[in-house]
Every structure is written in structure tokens, then in C-alpha cells.
């Protein structure tokens, strides 16, 4: 849950989503499309932001596809990588 | 008339098509002619085929007219027809040349690369290269001439089911010399694009067309009016630190092409969020493209209305 909370604030600050309050987001919030409203180019920035804050690199499509679904799946991916 | 701003482009479905104008049989006739009589034999037939299409197919005149009206605003009806013929002929020659290279081998075409040393210097920075090109000349000639870089070349490319034009390597059943990244893939292929740049490879993107209903566009003045151009390449450059090189090809003789390093664009990291932050860099590319249309007015191959908006189309 700590990762979800940190991820929420990072998304708002680093992705400049100031019009969204942290309490509006939860683990089930979809990152791209209708959810958080991020688009494919935001994914570029998101990869960099995750590496900067968590030291986790999303290397390819196979890793990125399941991780980039919701805030929860991304947090789980980060936890898995940092625990390894 | 409303201009083609990014907001409008967001609503736009794709207006261009890579679908071939000729039938499969017509293409085969050209391939046989090239095998039997070389490039000249194919050109002879091409002159007649283009004349047929220009005179008898209004859609050919309409599609080329969007650009030609902007490039040659003062032309009368006959002049416009002549322009349409010349432009269609240049496109036909580029397609024949592509087939000639595939069937008769790369030695059948001279390709001069202007800026080769600079390209090697940029490669030595080890940050990958984003090669922004456009639908001008014969972009496949550009691809085939990048072997000296000795690094994989990746191409962001979408191919439609109706596109029966063979790429040059397909004529001899060879593997594709570059890796294709599908913009319709997951997240538009951006993760793959980032990865190839990280490995120091070359990523080639078309800077003059918007894929699908891509809202990632920014408007720039092109031939006197606003056109929405994609800025994804510039955002990738800002994020990865990769330099952008504008490489444009032009047919310079019956069997010769020139590839020119026509521009070098450096996008600082985090120039800001949103389309406006990337407008200066997109404009740099568009200025290079406009300069190209001044030098090679009949080798610009976008046969749709770049300047229109969804509202214009009703």
C-alpha cells in the first residue's frame, strides 16, 4: 500500500496532474485511456519517472503491458522488482 | 475556415491511406518489365500509365491538388494538370526505383549521402538517433543507405492490408533489413522505441503524418497555413536525450538519389508539458520540409489534405 500511496503523489506531481486530488485515485484507477487519462506519450514520461523514484526500469513490452494497467498493477510491479 | 489545430486533429480519423492505386496485376507487369528491360522499360510504361490516371481519374487530380494549390497558388487549369502529371510521375518513378533496387540489386542505383561524417559524429554520442524523415523522394533509399552506421535500424511503420506495393527487400525474399515497430501496438510502441534508443540504435519515424486519431500533434505553418504535425518524436528525444536528425531523400537523376542530413534538432530534457512545449522543435522540422518543397516541388508525396480539419470534411 505504501507504494500505491507514493505512486499516487508521484503521478500527480511529476506527471503534472494537478487537477486531480490524491484521494480521487486508488489501486484500481486505470492509468491509460479513460482512467487517469494518460496517453501513449505519457508512458514515455512515466517510464522515466518510475526509474527516477524507484530505480525500476521497465524494459520492454512484455513487462510493460501487465504493469501499465492500473496504479495497483504498477505498484505491484515496482514492489516485485525492488524486492528482487 | 477553421485551421487544423491539435485540438481538431484529436477528433480526426486518419485521412491518408497507404493503399495502392494500381491492381496486383499492374504491379506484376512493372516487375516483369524491370526484369526484362530494366528501369527504362518500366519508365516507358509508367509515362503512359500516369497520363491515363491523371487524365481519366479525377480522384488523382483531387488528391494531388491539395498540396499543389498551396505550392503553386497562381497556376491555371492547364498548369495544374501539368503539375499533377509531374508529381504523379515522380511518385511512380520512386516506386519503380524501389522495385529496381529490390529486383536488380542496390548497385543499380547510386545513393549519395550528404552529411555522412556528421551522422557518424552524432552516433558516437551513444544516445541513439531519432531519424525523422518524410514522405518525400524515396524514403526506402534512405533506409538502404544506413548500413554504414552498423547498428540496427527500427522503423515506426503502419502497413494496411490494401497496400500491395512491395518493399525493396521483398522482391528477393530477403528478411526486412530494419525492425518494424507498429504504432497500433501497445501504447503506440513507445516502450519499444525507448528501448531501441537506449541501446544506441536508430529509430526512424515519419514526421509529416499523424497516425490514426493521434492527439499528440502541434500546429505549425506549412506552405502558408496551419497543419497539425505529430510531436511524439520530439517528446521521445526530450525524455531519452537522443538527438534528432532530419534526413530527406530526393531523386537527382535517372538512377541516382541524394540523401541529405537536412537538419539536426536538439530537444532539451523536460522542455515543459503539453504540445506547446514542443512547437519550436516541430517548427524546425517543418521549415526544413518547406525548404525541401521549394527545391523538389514534385517529390512531396502526401496525397491528402493536410490543411483540412474534421469540420471542413463535415
Condensed to tens digits (0 to 9), the pLDDT of residues B81-97 reads: 999 999 999 999 999 99
Closest partner residue to B188 (CB to CB) among A40, A48, A60 is A40
Q: How far apart are CA B64 and CA B91, in angstroms?
A: 11
pLDDT value at B238 more than 80: yes
Give the domains, in start order, of chain A with CATH numbers.
2-83 (1.10.1200.10)
Residue B142 C-alpha cell reads as: 534512405
Condensed to tens digits (0 to 9), the pLDDT of residues B26-44 reads: 888 999 999 999 999 999 9
Smallest CA–CA distance, residue A83 to chain B, in Å, is: 23
Condensed to tens digits (0 to 9), the pLDDT of residues A21-64 reads: 888 889 999 998 777 888 888 888 888 889 889 999 887 767 78
Give percent of chain A above pLDDT 70: 98
| Complex prediction ipTM | 0.77
Show Cβ contacts of residue B91 under 8 Å, excluding neighbours closer than 6 positions: B301
Cβ-Cβ contacts under 8 Å, B186 against chain A: 61, 64-65
Q: Which A residues, 12 through 51, put their C-beta within 8 Å of a C-beta on chain B? A: 16, 32, 39-41, 43-45, 47-48
Q: Which residue would you say has higher pLDDT here, B198 or B213? A: B198
Phi/psi for A66 (5° steps) reads: -70, -30
Tell me, what's the pLDDT at B275? 83
Cβ-Cβ contacts under 8 Å, B239 against chain A: 44-45, 47-48
Average pLDDT on B114-137 reads 95
Closest partner residue to B194 (CB to CB) among A39, A44, A68 is A44
Tell me, what's the pLDDT at B15? 59
Note the pTM of the prediction, 2 decimals. 0.84
Condensed to tens digits (0 to 9), the pLDDT of residues B148-195 reads: 888 999 988 876 655 555 565 566 666 666 788 888 777 888 888 988
Q: How far apart are CA A33 and CA A19, in angstroms?
A: 17
The domain limits of chain B are 6-18+109-295
Show Cβ contacts of residue B92 under 8 Å, excluding neighbours closer than 6 positions: B46, B49, B50
Condensed to tens digits (0 to 9), the pLDDT of residues B240-298 reads: 899 999 999 999 999 999 999 999 999 998 766 678 899 999 999 999 999 999 999 99
Q: Are B170 and B102 in contact (CB under 8 A)?
A: yes
Amino acid at each position: 500500500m505504501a507504494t500505491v500511496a507514493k505512486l499516487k503523489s508521484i503521478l500527480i506531481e511529476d506527471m503534472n496532474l494537478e487537477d486531480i486530488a490524491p484521494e480521487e485515485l486508488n489501486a484500481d484507477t486505470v492509468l491509460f485511456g479513460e482512467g487517469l487519462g494518460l496517453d501513449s506519450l505519457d508512458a514515455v514520461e512515466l517510464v522515466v519517472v518510475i526509474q527516477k523514484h524507484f530505480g525500476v526500469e521497465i524494459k520492454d513490452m512484455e513487462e510493460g503491458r501487465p504493469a501499465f494497467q492500473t496504479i495497483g498493477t504498477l505498484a505491484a510491479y515496482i514492489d516485485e522488482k525492488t524486492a528482487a | 475556415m477553421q485551421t487544423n489545430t491539435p485540438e481538431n486533429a484529436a477528433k480526426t480519423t486518419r485521412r491518408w491511406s497507404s493503399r495502392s492505386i494500381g491492381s496486383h496485376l499492374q504491379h506484376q507487369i512493372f516487375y516483369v518489365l524491370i526484369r526484362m528491360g530494366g528501369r527504362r522499360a518500366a519508365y516507358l510504361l509508367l509515362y503512359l500509365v500516369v497520363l491515363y490516371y491523371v487524365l481519366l481519374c479525377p480522384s488523382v487530380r483531387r488528391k494531388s491538388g491539395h498540396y499543389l494549390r498551396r505550392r503553386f497558388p497562381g497556376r491555371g487549369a492547364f498548369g495544374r494538370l501539368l503539375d499533377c502529371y509531374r508529381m504523379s510521375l515522380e511518385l511512380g518513378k520512386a516506386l519503380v526505383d524501389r522495385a529496381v533496387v529490390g529486383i536488380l540489386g542496390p548497385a543499380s542505383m547510386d545513393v549519395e549521402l550528404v552529411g555522412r561524417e556528421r551522422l557518424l559524429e552524432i552516433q558516437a554520442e551513444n544516445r541513439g538517433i531519432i531519424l525523422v524523415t518524410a514522405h518525400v523522394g524515396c524514403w526506402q533509399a534512405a533506409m538502404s543507405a544506413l548500413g554504414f552506421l552498423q547498428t540496427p535500424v527500427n522503423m515506426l511503420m503502419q502497413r494496411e492490408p490494401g497496400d500491395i506495393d512491395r518493399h525493396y527487400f521483398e522482391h528477393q525474399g530477403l528478411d526486412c533489413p530494419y525492425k518494424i515497430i507498429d504504432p497500433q501496438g501497445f501504447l503506440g510502441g513507445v516502450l519499444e522505441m525507448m528501448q531501441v534508443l537506449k541501446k544506441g540504435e536508430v529509430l526512424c519515424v515519419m514526421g509529416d503524418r499523424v497516425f490514426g486519431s493521434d492527439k499528440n500533434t502541434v500546429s505549425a505553418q506549412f506552405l502558408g497555413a496551419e497543419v497539425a504535425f505529430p510531436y511524439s518524436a520530439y517528446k521521445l528525444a526530450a525524455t531519452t536525450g537522443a538527438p534528432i536528425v532530419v534526413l530527406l531523400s530526393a531523386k537527382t537523376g535517372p538512377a541516382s538519389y541524394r540523401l541529405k542530413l537536412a537538419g539536426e534538432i536538439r530537444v532539451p530534457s523536460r522542455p515543459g508539458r503539453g504540445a506547446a512545449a514542443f512547437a519550436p522543435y516541430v517548427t524546425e522540422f517543418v521549415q526544413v520540409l518547406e525548404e525541401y518543397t521549394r527545391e523538389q516541388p514534385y517529390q512531396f508525396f502526401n496525397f491528402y489534405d493536410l490543411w483540412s480539419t474534421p469540420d471542413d470534411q463535415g
